[in-house]
Amino acid sequence: MEQLQQALDKRIKTVVQLEQLRQSLIDGKDTGRMAVSVCGGTACLALGAREIATAFKQEIEKREIQVKVEFKETGCQGFCARGPVVLVGPKNIFYQKVKPEDVPEIIEETILKGKIIKRLLYTDPAVKQEITYEADVPFYKKQARLIIGTNSEIDPTDIEQYIALGGYSAAAKALFQMSPEKIVDEITRSGLRGRGGGGFPTGRKWQSCRVAEGDIKYVICNGDEGDPGSYQDGSILGGNPHSVIEGMIIGAYAIGSHEGYIYVRNEYPLAVKHARIAIEQAMDYGLLGDNILGSGFSFKVTINKGGGAFVCGESSALIASLEGKVGEPKAKYVHMAEKGLWDRPSLLNNVKTWANVPLIINKGSAWYSKIGTAGSKGTMVFSLVGKINNSGLVEIPMGVTLRKMIYDIGGGIPGGKKFKAVQAGGPSGGCIPEQYLDTPVDFDELTGLGSMMGSGGMIVMDEDNCIVDVARYFIEFLKGESCGKCVPCREGLAKLSEILTRITRGEGRPEDIETMTDLGEIIHDGALCGLGRSAANPVLSTLRYFKDEYLAHINDKKCPAGVCRELIEYTIDTKKCNGCGVCARNCTTKAISGEKRKAHTINQGLCVKCGVCEDSCKFGAVVKR
């Protein structure tokens, strides 16, 4: 009863009350108070952020300085390669690679005395200079963090922090100042295109669903994100779930829906937990549920956890999964805007698409459409991973070149290695080589290169990656994830995988290239769903740009990158070997022998090519060929 009373007390019944709450939160904020934000994103948590957060809470309590310090644990702050990261406000001093034992010093020196701890600052490798503030770190400075920037500012489990930043004002504007037609018009004019893969114009999709016949309509958020290396959608749902919910409220009002679903994979426990808390809090505050803000409009959201199949991100498979059926795609004769979940009109958008909506409603389509290129408006959030110094979440205005992303923001390739390719668009995207690095990031430009924007996965590869092995890996992944319902995808991917595996084992045949090209086209043309239709991209794009590497494997039985085990050989350079015996002691198959202080040799029959000898030799005497 008491709980119910408390919940009722929190309920905001009018827009005026929402504004009053926002104002009181702003007024009540002591601007002289220091703020500590510990990143609670997945990468930082894996590196010990939970222990750091606990240490901060204990230290603040022990010193009884709660009134001086505001502590919060945020979602992913973006610069995952430098985790665990800690921001000290109000000016956002950026501390990186923080350890729990650094916490008392941060409190004593930075919080209480205002001194900077140089050891914890990020050093810009280009100028070898420490950088104090987050805004000056090149990784952040060159981005436009319209969507993910808020992650660093709020505790995602506290709705009031979102409200204090202007949260739910777009929903209020939409509900009270705009008609559904006007909202759809605004989204259309903004030029927003879906961020889930296809880049379909969002306004057009909303309009089809708005005019579709039916009393019951659904709004769905696609947070499946099954692409290897991608984690931007999970980080937005986990770091700023209210932005997605607010977008869904606006979409629901625009099309006349009263029920929404967030489909998120179960392997994202943080996103599931934070989205669930956000829904509960929005219900408590009257921002979801019946008669939102007294507008007469009612809308509720339910979370549905996916089982982790990549194909369940595809719209028709997602619908089947939501309906409790096996998550398999269907042939789409009718658009789901007309006949989707339980055969009712349904509006499905990606997490990032929804998160863009409040921004467009608040700032206007004219403002939004000035960002980006002619055909791709706004910003795009990427997971920049692989052989890159500054791996993390990157948000850029559309139109920034791949080179700028990889070198200026991503900090280039580790160890001075040579860039080889970037795989954009997830497993069924395509590999883009060095000569196209000056291509602007834009839906159509990336498609023109045989790759795609996809949902924002970007995997960087260097000279040590074998392109045939990379294609084999992605085809193997897609083969495993294919639902198996249609023959071209099921059999075609199995055949492609078999050919690629043979090539990486040195058993390639000259006709393989033509066979793979033909197969790729057949799978594309004949597959039932988007998985199959794009599945051959990793092979077709690598054949287009890296044919020589395939030919080296097939004709010369060589792997230029030195990755494919059957095609490499380790030998010992007798001139460099001093017979120290370290490699022999480390070799688990006892393939290395030789007298003490005399050059050793490797028995090729016993060698399993694990590379331990190369790693353990200090004199560079082990040669990989």
Ligand X SMILES: Cc1cc2nc3c(=O)[nH]c(=O)nc-3n(C[C@H](O)[C@H](O)[C@H](O)COP(=O)(O)O)c2cc1C
Question: What residues line the site for ligand X (CB under 6 A)?
Answer: 194-198, 200, 222, 224-226, 310-311, 313-315, 348-350, 353, 455, 529-531
Q: How far is the CB of 45 from ligand FES (least distance, A)?
A: 7
- Decide whether 358 or 508 has the Cβ nearer to ligand X: 358
Q: How far is the CB of 6 from ligand X (least distance, A)?
A: 36
Q: Which does 44 bind (CB under 5 to 8 A by kind): ligand X, ligand FES, none?
A: ligand FES
- Decide whether 15 or 529 has the Cβ nearer to ligand X: 529
- Decide whether 87 or 336 has the Cβ nearer to ligand X: 336
- Of residues 18, 34, 55, 76, which one binds ligand FES by CB under 6 A? 76
- Decide whether 89 or 198 has the Cβ nearer to ligand X: 198
Neighbouring C-beta atoms of residue 2, cutoff 10 Å: 6
- Decide whether 229 or 506 has the Cβ nearer to ligand FES: 229
Q: Which does 39 bind (CB under 5 to 8 A by kind): ligand X, ligand FES, none?
A: ligand FES
Contact 421, 110 (CB under 8 A): no
Q: Which does 348 bind (CB under 5 to 8 A by kind): ligand X, ligand FES, none?
A: ligand X
Contact 163, 170 (CB under 8 A): no
Q: How far is the CB of 351 from ligand X (least distance, A)?
A: 7
Contact 456, 228 (CB under 8 A): no
Please count the residues of the chain. 625
Question: In whole angstroms, what is the distance from residue 197 CA to residue 353 CA?
Answer: 11
Angle (nearest 5°) at CA 424 between 78 and 385 = 35
- Decide whether 69 or 531 has the Cβ nearer to ligand X: 531
Q: How far is the CB of 54 from ligand FES (least distance, A)?
A: 16
What is the sign, positive or negative, of the torsion defined by CA atoms of 426, 135, 66, 59? positive
- Using a CB cutoff of 8 Å and minimum separation of 24, what contacts does 512-520 make? 512/550, 512/554, 513/543, 513/547, 513/550, 513/551, 513/554, 516/543, 517/543, 519/492, 519/495, 520/496
Q: How far is the CB of 529 from ligand X (least distance, A)?
A: 6
Residue 319 DSSP code? H
Q: How far is the CB of 402 from ligand FES (least distance, A)?
A: 22
> How many amino acids of this chain bind ligand FES (CB under 6 A)?
13
- Decide whether 39 or 252 has the Cβ nearer to ligand X: 252
Under the criterion CB under 6 A, does residue 231 sit at the interface with ligand FES? no
- Decide whether 83 or 313 has the Cβ nearer to ligand FES: 83
Q: Which does 79 bind (CB under 5 to 8 A by kind): ligand X, ligand FES, none?
A: ligand FES
Question: In whole angstroms, what is the distance from residue 139 CA to residue 152 CA?
Answer: 14
Question: In whole angstroms, what is the distance from residue 396 CA to residue 384 CA?
Answer: 12
Question: In whole angstroms, what is the distance from residue 528 CA to residue 545 CA?
Answer: 27
Binding segment for ligand FES among 22-30, 75-83, 124-132, 161-169 (CB under 6 A)?
75-83
What amino acid occupies position 172?
A
From the number of C-beta atoms within 10 Å of its C-beta (0-12, 13-18, 19+), residue 480 rates as: exposed
- Decide whether 73 or 246 has the Cβ nearer to ligand FES: 73
- Decide whether 200 or 619 has the Cβ nearer to ligand X: 200
What is the pattern of x (binds ligand FES, CB under 6 A) and - over residues 81-120? --x-x-----------------------------------
Closest of 34, 43, 138, 124 to residue 88, by C-alpha: 34
Reduce the DSSP state of residue 142 to 3 states and report it.
coil
Where in 381-440 is the site for ligand FES (CB under 6 A)?
Answer: 392
Closest of 556, 574, 572 to residue 604, by C-alpha: 572
- Of residues 79, 140, 268, 545, which one binds ligand FES by CB under 6 A? 79
Q: How far is the CB of 114 from ligand X (least distance, A)?
A: 45
Q: Which does 172 bind (CB under 5 to 8 A by kind): ligand X, ligand FES, none?
A: none
Q: How far is the CB of 353 from ligand FES (least distance, A)?
A: 22
Q: Which does 315 bind (CB under 5 to 8 A by kind): ligand FES, ligand X, none?
A: ligand X
Q: How far is the CB of 235 from ligand FES (least distance, A)?
A: 7
**Per-residue b or e along 187-221, where b marks 16 or more CB atoms closer than 10 Å to that residue's CB:** bbbbbbbbbbbbbebbbebbbbbbebebeebbbbb
- Decide whether 78 or 197 has the Cβ nearer to ligand FES: 78
Which two tokens mark 145? 């963090």
* Contact partners, residue 423, CB within 8 Å, separation at least 6: 386, 429, 430, 431, 432, 451, 457, 458, 459, 461, 470, 474, 538
Half-sphere exposure of 65 (CA within 13 A, CB side): 20
Where in 4-63 is the site for ligand FES (CB under 6 A)?
Answer: 39, 41-44
- Decide whether 270 or 282 has the Cβ nearer to ligand FES: 270
Q: How far is the CB of 38 from ligand FES (least distance, A)?
A: 9
Q: Which does 240 bind (CB under 5 to 8 A by kind): ligand X, ligand FES, none?
A: none
From the number of C-beta atoms within 10 Å of its C-beta (0-12, 13-18, 19+), residue 135 rates as: exposed
Integer angstrom CA distances of residue 325 from 314, 328, 521: 14, 8, 31
Residue 242 DSSP code? H
Taking CB positions, which residue lies at the least distance from ligand FES?
41
Q: Which does 225 bind (CB under 5 to 8 A by kind): ligand FES, ligand X, none?
A: ligand X
Q: Which does 200 bind (CB under 5 to 8 A by kind): ligand X, ligand FES, none?
A: ligand X
Q: Which does 83 bind (CB under 5 to 8 A by kind): ligand FES, ligand X, none?
A: ligand FES
Which two tokens mark 323? 């309906």
Closest of 213, 208, 217 to residue 257, by C-alpha: 217
Q: How far is the CB of 336 from ligand X (least distance, A)?
A: 9
Q: Which residues bind ligand FES (CB under 6 A)?
A: 39, 41-44, 76-80, 83, 85, 392
